[in-house]
Chains A and B, each alone.
Chain A
Amino acid sequence: MVTGAVVTAPGLSSYLKSLKSTPVEPSVEHLISLLKRRQIRNSRPCAVATLALLSRVVGEFKGRDAAKLVERIRQIGRRLTSAQPREVVVGNIIRRVLGLVREVVEDNVEAVTEATSDAGQSHPAHHDSLHRPQLISSISTFSPLKHASAEPMDSSSHYSENMSDSGEMSKRPPLLTSHTSYAPTSTAPLVNSLFGLFSHPDTPSASNTPTGVQPPDGKGTLTSLNLERLADSSHSRFDLKGEVMNGIQEIQDELEQTDDSIADNALHHIHSNEIILTHTASSTVQKFLLAAARKRKFTVVHVETHPHDHTATHSILLTGKKRDAEDDEEDSWKPLRSAGIQVVMIPDSHVYAIMSQVNKVILATHTVLANGALVAASGARMIASAAKAHQTPVVVVSGLYKLSPVYPFDIDELIEYGDAGSVVPYEDGDFVDLVDVENPLYDYVPADLVDLYITNLGGHAPSYLYRIVADHYRTEDINL
């Protein structure tokens, strides 16, 4: 993440670098201006930047009041989302972190309730724990994991990852180093919580709930429980922050591993000698196809997505890199064609002509909405419609972080319009004067055109997405 590369234009990497040395408030302003100027754009960079900022905010947060922390994150979230409402991912990440804080608070209440068998606890933020798979909460008793992984299998893998945390450190140094550097003030408690989760000496109920020491700050401060455990309150403050930081770390890990865990599904969906149509330069799709290419031979038809993404598309096909200059290891991989996959590039206009030959359409997305629809690079709508007309299945690959609880009441609101100069160059002066040139960057694809979503949790029907939304976001956070 923090490489030595010299980046002249402000962007994600320069922001992450500056985040270490800048105080929180200017950092928030900085991110807002970057979002407004579209210098950080597209889902993943936005998600990474927001999460980094939030981990900084939580790290700097002083006080023991969870409600105040929630309010603080909320307020930053409001500012960020209003800076760039169409980058829905920013809001998603804010909501995830908010949910995380609430979860931490709740779980501790639960734990305490269990420990003292006090049934008289009623908690405002306790809406759907009944409907959640109980298995998860029993496996990962330290709550943040619940957010990062709703599936039992996944959570156990996360569990083991955290158990062998030192091993993780060597595997993914950038995150951890940056992580600690974002939150210099909280380093000691964080490390304490990372390594000492299971050997917490002064936990009264360490057997089943290692972090049960924390009281529900701000919500139940005056309950008898808190009075009982007044002595532990000094630790509990650290643990709130520590656990939230821990959870943010989990989300960061999830972001990093999204592509890989989506790619794990590839072999279930791509068979040999298939002809697959895809569009835009998406690292998720490329890695998905690459994973399948290791075992199978198939053909990829790549739509070039003129006029806003064609250069990236061409270069991803030729070199496997989206951008030059940025030498992120994360950002470059072997191009499909050198994995022995025959790639045919076609202009956007050829979609219908070619579709009769295509077995499967794989779309990348910008945002997935709660009703199963998606917002993707323009051209996606016609690809999906053409696929529907030919009864070709449409598969959307998307990280969970792109899944948004927003319901699209106004579709046009979600569509961003780009530089008309890339459609007709401004040298063509009289044309630009005479004619309204429009360049929509995104398309809204209704849910009925999509057959399957593949996220890092596996495959879902579009109609099931609402459930995943409910698993990952709190209803009280949907309106920031």
Chain B
Amino acid sequence: MSDAPNGGAVQPPASPLPEASSKTPSQAEGDAKNANAEGAEGAPKLSGAELKKRAKADKAAKRAAAKATEAPLEPKGLAPKEAQQQQKGSKQPPKDDKSRPLPLRRRPSNPTVPPAKEHKVQPKKEKKQTGLFFGHLYSQPRQHSIVGATKDVHPAVLALGLQYSSYVICGSTARMVAMLLAFKAVIESYQTPVGTSLARHLTSHHLSPQIDYLRSCRSLSISMGNAIRWLKDLIIKIDPSTPEAEAKRDLIMEIDNFIRERVTVADQLISEAAIKKIESGDVILTYGSSSIVEQSLLKAHSNDIPFSVIVVDSKPLYEGKRLARNLAKHGIKVRYFLISGAAHAVKDASKVLLGAHAMMSNGRLYSRVGTALVSMLAKSQSLPVLVLCESVKFTERVALDSIVGNEIAPAEELLSETERQALLPFKPKPDGKAEGETEGSADTSKEVLQWIEGAQNLQILQVLYDVTPAEYITMVITEYGSLPPSSVPVVHRLSTNI
């Protein structure tokens, strides 16, 4: 099926969106179905370029389908398939996700705002000057549903994608572990088609759609990228003569080993190194929430080191809240600041412990947006800034600023429900409407959102990460030991060459 039978689905990569939107919903739906049908037939040989083409077509169809869902007249063809898919997704929660306690984070923005709305406003927003600084990052809106996902995507991965996009699973390590666990399920249920070998088929044809789907939900974290690279490498190296069952068993075992070696044991080593740095009477400042920082602090507390913690947090994810609550429940004295009070928080602190999303090869720290501010303020107070980071999060990528590589978060997540409510009185009443309109909270918040969306020349910008210069970082603690940020590339080479 190397050539897609209908030309509509395969589009030139330059302008996928306008064409998709010009289609009628039913036509677009047809495309989506066709694409799915192709996937089902599973023609054995697809070149990389063709795959890419197909992925593009899928995406376009996906978007069109999403549009179709919110169109008043829903095309008949869609309903059964969608229902079926949703059923699938809900019926099979990722079995293995629970095996490791994953940090649960509430998504702060209003869940009652339907995801369909986002798709509706997207074209309009793109006409507006999107992203003064991050224009290059506004490529594709984040996927918030399983509508339009290709049939190849495993249910565990579907569910995981939704957990990614709603920040239920959040954090570089947690996302990577969850992905690997989902991939275990994928591999378990995988069967090599006749006429090909597992080593050849699994990565390119079976894992790739899963990864693409996950990427459409939220862009991959650097640790996920590292893990995927490792996994692909592993699969390719499997001897074609190995029986399938054995190969699968080996793979699953390897994944378990990887998680144990690179995450679980690494975390133990790091936290042991970290608690040596915590002295009695210290005031440890941390920003946001990092599982490894939390682990270290709890361990230090159980070692009877008297210290207190200052958690600095920021909108809109409020990740630090969970950390603060958890630490306080264990009896640690916790103070909680928002980032605007960081200058005050830093004054009282004696050490800063930070988690990482990734360590760049030029020694810079890529982490939750705001980390750079906290470490800058800490540096100006001459506080030691310690970064706890597993080596799996090291990357050969380099970055000078936070602009080039970053992840855009949807703007509407910034304003919480109460903030939208507070803004409502300011909204100028349309002349025709009377004062007496008192709608439900969902309506009002939607109204405010639309108002802000529609506001000319106003744009809300939200990214997820920033880059902290190496000079603000005193030490990086990894499972290989404690090192200065300049040693990151060395450790990265060390850890990938093993």
| A and B found bound together | yes
With a CB–CB cut-off of 8 A, which chain A residues contact B470? Answer: none
Residue of A321, A349, A415, A444 near B315 (CB, 8 A) is: A349
Residues of A within 8 A of B423 (CB): 311, 314-315, 318
Give the residues in chain A near B315, CB-CB below 8 Å.
306, 347-349
| B451/A318 in contact, CB under 8 A | yes
Within 8 A of B (CB), among A152-210: none
- Residue A430 CB within 8 A of the other chain: yes
A324 to B428, CA, bound (A): 10
Contact of A341 with B370 in the complex, beta carbons under 8 Å: no
SS of B interface (majority): mixed
Q: Is the CB of B456 within 8 A of A431?
A: no
Q: Mark A415-440, 1 if CB is under 8 A from B, else 0.
A: 10000000111001011001111111
Instruction: Provide the A347-377 mask, 1 if CB < 8 A to any CB of B, else 0.
Output: 1111111101100000000000000000001
- Please state if A340 and B335 are interface contacts (CB–CB under 8 Å): no
Query: Which B residues are in CB contact (< 8 Å) with A385?
Result: 343, 376-377, 380
Is B434's CB within 8 Å of the partner chain A? Answer: no
Q: Flag whether B277 is at the interface (Cβ < 8 A).
A: no
Q: How far is the CB of B313 from chain A (nearest CB, A)?
A: 9
- How far, in Å, is B452 (CB) from chain A's closest CB? 7
B336: which A residues are within 8 A, CB to CB?
423-424, 435-438
Q: For the complex formed, measure the closest distance between the CB of A40 and the CB atoms of chain B, giving whole angstroms.
A: 21
Q: Mark A436-453, 1 if CB is under 8 A from B, else 0.
A: 111110011000000000
Known: A318-B458, A349-B314. A436 touches B340 (CB 8 A): no
Known A431-B325, A435-B328: A318·B455 in contact at CB below 8 Å = yes
On whether the beta carbons of A337 and B458 are closer than 8 Å, the reply is yes
Count the B residues whose beta carbon is within 8 Å of the partner chain — how many?
Answer: 63
Smallest CB separation, A202 vs chain B (Å): 57
Q: Which A residues are CB-close (under 8 A) to B370?
A: 348-350, 352
Q: Which residues of B are in contact with A by a Cβ distance under 8 Å?
A: 129, 132-133, 311, 314-316, 321, 324-325, 328-329, 333-345, 368-370, 372-373, 376-377, 380, 401-403, 406, 414-415, 418-419, 422-423, 425-428, 451-452, 455-463, 465-469
Dominant SS among interface residues on chain A:
mixed
Residue on B with the closest CB to A436?
Answer: B335
A-B contact count (CB 8 A): 188
**In the complex the two chains form, is B334's CB within 8 Å of A436's CB?**
yes
| Bound CA–CA A423/B333 (angstroms) | 18
Residue in B369, B380, B419 whose beta carbon sits within 8 Å of that of A350 in the complex: B369
Most buried by B among A325, A340, A423: A423
A-B contact pairs, 20 of them (CB 8 A): A299-B132, A319-B426, A319-B427, A321-B426, A324-B425, A337-B457, A338-B456, A342-B459, A347-B462, A349-B315, A350-B466, A353-B369, A353-B372, A353-B403, A377-B340, A382-B373, A386-B373, A431-B325, A436-B333, A438-B335
Task: Say yes or no: is A310 at the interface (Cβ < 8 Å to chain B).
Answer: yes
- Partner of B133 from the list A337, A357, A431, A443 (CB cut-off 8 Å) is A357
A103 smallest CB distance to B (angstroms): 39
The answer to whether B422 touches A311, judged by C-beta atoms less than 8 angstroms apart, is: yes
Name the A residues within 8 Å of B376 (CB-CB). 352, 382, 385-386, 389
Say yes or no: B343 contacts A381, CB within 8 Å: yes
Docked pose: A350 CA to B333 CA in angstroms: 28
Q: Take A349-B373, A434-B325 as given contacts and tell me if A357 and B403 are in contact as well, using a CB distance cutoff of 8 Å.
A: yes
Q: What CA separation (Å) do A308 and B333 show in the bound complex? A: 25
Chain A contacts for B377, CB-based, 8 A: 381-382, 385
Query: Which residues on B sit within 8 Å (CB–CB) of A431?
Result: 321, 324-325, 328
Instruction: Please give, as numbers and ranges, the residues of chain B lying within 8 Å of A325 by CB-CB distance.
Output: 425
How many angstroms between the C-alpha atoms of A431 and B133 in the bound complex? Answer: 37
Residues from chain A with a CB closer than 8 A to the CB of B466 are 349-350, 352-353
Is B339 a contact partner of A348 (Cβ separation < 8 A)? yes
Contacts of B452 in A (CB 8 A): 314, 318
Please name all residues of chain B whose beta carbon is closer than 8 Å to the beta carbon of A378 when the two chains form the complex. 340-341, 343-344
Q: Does the CB pair B419–A311 fall under 8 Å? A: yes
Structural contact, B334 and A306, CB atoms closer than 8 A: no
A439 shortest CB reach to chain B, Å: 7
16 further A-B contacts with Cβ under 8 Å, apart from A319-B427, A352-B376, A385-B380, are A318-B423, A318-B455, A343-B459, A345-B458, A345-B460, A346-B462, A348-B338, A357-B133, A379-B339, A379-B340, A381-B343, A386-B373, A415-B344, A431-B328, A435-B324, A436-B336
List of 9 A-B pairs having minimum Cβ-Cβ separation, nearest first: A349-B370, A434-B328, A353-B402, A337-B457, A381-B343, A379-B340, A352-B372, A353-B466, A349-B314
Whose C-beta in chain A lies nearest to the C-beta of B132? A344
B337 and A438 contact, CB distance less than 8 A:
yes
A276 at the interface (CB under 8 A from B): no
Chain A, residues 299-327, CB within 8 Å of chain B (1/0): the string is 10000111110110011011101001100
